[in-house]
Amino acid sequence: MPRREPDHPIGPDGYSTVAVFADEHTDEQWQTYLDARGRGITPDLAAREIGLTGKAMKAFLHREPERARDAAEAALEGTSHYAERLRATARVLALDTQNPNPRVLEVELATHAPGYEHLRRDRVKHEGHVTHGIVIDLDPSKLDALSIDKLQALREVLAELGGEVIDGEAHEVREIEAA
């Protein structure tokens, strides 16, 4: 019968225990993982820094709620640090006179310099032409009953009104209330 560690979680068999992070890894490796998460590194990449897969680290964190809490706190800190590092890097790139990056400079100007709001790409200009029409739904059997002269007269009236006769089914039918 396998040995049971009292401070370890119980495995799927309901009796034996499963490994926890400290069984296979050092405190330094745990700190390296937390530091990576605190810098905004994704869970999978942070786990790779200490020789684990993201799946293995997820299993350890699932078994150890206290470590999971610490990792979540580091990840939360990493979110803000990552955003700040991105901003700082963008500013360095924007101001690099040796290797200028025009797009990064444009984004920084649009974001931070009054008078350059027109460079923002969150404003979209739409151009186009909208045509409105009225569909008159006629029973084909009644149209078939009309004489050719009456059908021709109907087409002429519609053409005089600026309309167009399209043979086929309507895709959208809306009722318009009489005024």
Query: Do 74 and 37 touch, CB atoms closer than 8 A?
Result: yes
Q: Which one is predicted more confidently, 93 or 56?
A: 56
Dihedral (C-alpha) 79, 80, 86, 88: value to the nearest 10 degrees?
-160
Average pLDDT (99-111) is 82
Q: Which two tokens stand for residue 30?
A: 């745990």
One-letter amino acid at 116 equals Y
pTM for this model (two decimals)? 0.50
- Whole-angstrom CA distances from 157 to 72, 133, 135 are 73, 16, 15
Task: Kindly report the average pLDDT of the chain as a whole number.
Answer: 81
DSSP state of 113: S
Q: Which one is predicted more confidently, 104 or 126?
A: 104
- In this model, does residue 177 exceed pLDDT 80? no
- Using alpha carbons only, how large is the chain's radius of gyration in Å? 35
- In this model, does residue 14 exceed pLDDT 80? no
Provide the pLDDT confidence category of residue 94 given band limits of 50, 70 and 90.
confident
pLDDT tens figures, 135-154: 777 777 887 888 889 888 88
Q: Which two tokens stand for residue 160?
A: 């005089």
- In this model, does residue 173 exceed pLDDT 60? no
Query: Do 143 and 158 touch, CB atoms closer than 8 A?
Result: no
